[in-house]
Amino acid sequence: MKFKRHIFIYAVLLIIVVGTMIWLRPRNTYRPRTFEEIKADGVLRIVTDYTPLSYYLQGDSLSGFDYELARMVGNRSGLSIEITPEVNLSKSIDGLKKGQYDIIARQLPVTSEIKEELAFTIPIQLNKQVLVQRKDPKAQKKLIRNQLDLAGKTLYIVSDAPTRLRIHNLSREIGDTIYIQEEKTYGAEQLIMMVATGEIDLAVCDKAIAQQMSKDYPQIDCNTDISFTQFQSWALRKDDSILLDSLNKWISEIQKEDKYKKLYNSYF
């Protein structure tokens, strides 16, 4: 009887301890903030991609076009900038909707499909999707230059990238199957490296990223277009009209500065 009583007391104490641990555990209490709340907090939360184009650790310093532009926005707005790198676009969009982030600062193609889900800033750059393939002077295999030659091929893309829809449309246009392999772990930079090292044969990514990477990996070719030239912008929640108007104003003013033009020309 005494043993059962001890077991009961132990069980009750265990429940109390576990319950206390759960209660004290740090919890994310993010929610979408209004522009007034952002100004009151003094911090603009930005999520970006981890690529040489957006956000990149080079030695002991951070670089990247979107990273530098975000800092310019911070200086222009008087707000502190909190930047989080995230390769996965779906996680970035989910964090935006939950209020973990205020802005997605990565180069997103402004398509009719994605405009139903997100609001976009004024155009930041023009870009296109290209085929990344490996040059091999010793091989007899020629580089793909005609989109018709993609029939039956497997193209690697970053998971949940807008590229997927373009490849589906291209498959219909050529009247044949193009297989898509979505990479959930790696970003565009890693896919390009995998092509360069021969781990995979074909990938599709932004031309700007591919051109940046080709400086370090001259064995890759990125001269075959997969899409037309598209505007690319930063994204916000659909209901964030005040922040969108303010961000458009800041970006528009920044784009007139010589400092911005120098930054743009160094990446594009």
The count of structural domains within the chain is 2
Q: At what angle do helices 241-254 and 65-77 cross, to 10 degrees?
A: 100
CATH number at residue 169: 3.40.190.10
10 Å CB burial of residue 262 (0-12, 13-18, 19+) is exposed
DSSP 112-167: HHHHTT-EE-S--EEE-EEEEEE--TTSSPPPP-SGGGGTT-EEEEETT-THHHHH
Strand pairing report for 203-206 and 129-134: antiparallel
Record the pTM. Answer: 0.77
Domain extent, residue 140, equals: 129-228
Tokens, residue 49:
């991609």
Contact 160, 90 (CB under 8 A): yes
Please write the tens of the pLDDT for every residue from 172-182. Answer: 999 999 999 99
Per-residue model confidence as pLDDT tens digits over 33-53: 999 999 999 999 999 998 888
According to DSSP, the β-strands at 119-120 and 230-236 are: antiparallel
| Residue 72 sits in the same domain as residue 152 | no
Q: Is residue 203 domain-shared with residue 143, that is, in the same domain?
A: yes
In a domain, 19, yes or no: no
Indicate whether 239 and 218 sit together in one domain: no
